[in-house]
Amino acid sequence: MFWFTLFLLQAAASPQIERGEALFFDSAKGCASCHAMKGRGTAVGPDLKGMGSLAPPAIAVAVRSTITSYVQHVKLKSKESFPAMPGAKDEKTIDLYDLSKTPAQMRKTDRTEIESMSNNDTWKHSDIAKKYTDEQMADIIAYVRYAVTGIPKSVDPSEVR
């Protein structure tokens, strides 16, 4: 009886995980525009493997309200400014992933063009993350947890309000 119950739970979680995967990798507003998961997406943002072990409410709070310390506010000598995730660098250039674009756009920038780079105090996940319904957020969290742990486990939308 235990194995049958386990099979039913796994089968019940599968459509939710599939919906979550589709939302995560959605080209217009998905998480994959900054994060990679299972070899897909853009590995600009932090690795989400650590998120897979967190409780659903904690993941929802992180998605909806994070001001990330990884993001830098870049001001160029041309007076252009934008939020950026720093990437590879050498003595002359730095790769800056411009987070004002969706998906983030890599800009190879000559270091002499940079007036300043400072810690982020305003950039958050896009407003799209705040507009996910509780059901959509539960689907995304179910997918992330599955992608990290390999264990298909459903997430109740009431857990992510």
Judge contact between 141 and 61, C-beta under 8 A. no
Listed range (63-67, 83-87, 131-135) with the worst mean pLDDT: 63-67
* Residues recorded for the chain: 161
β-strand partners of 116: 75
pTM score = 0.75
Contacts of 83 (CB under 8 A, 6+ apart): 71, 72, 73, 74, 98, 99, 100, 120, 122, 123
Task: HSE, CB side, 13 Å, CA atoms: give it for residue 152.
Answer: 16
Under the banding of pLDDT at 50, 70 and 90, the label for residue 125 is confident
Contacts of 116 (CB under 8 A, 6+ apart): 74, 75
Nearest to 85 by CA among 94, 100, 97, 95: 97
How far apart (Å, rounded) are the C-alpha atoms in residues 130 and 137?
9
Q: Are strands 114-119 and 72-76 parallel, antiparallel or unpaired?
A: antiparallel
Judge contact between 67 and 124, C-beta under 8 A. yes
Question: Radius of gyration of the chain from Cα atoms?
Answer: 18
Under the banding of pLDDT at 50, 70 and 90, the label for residue 114 is very high
How far apart (Å, rounded) are the C-alpha atoms in residues 2 and 161?
31
pLDDT digits (tens, 9 = 90+) for 8-57: 555 545 899 999 999 999 977 788 888 899 899 888 888 899 888 899 99
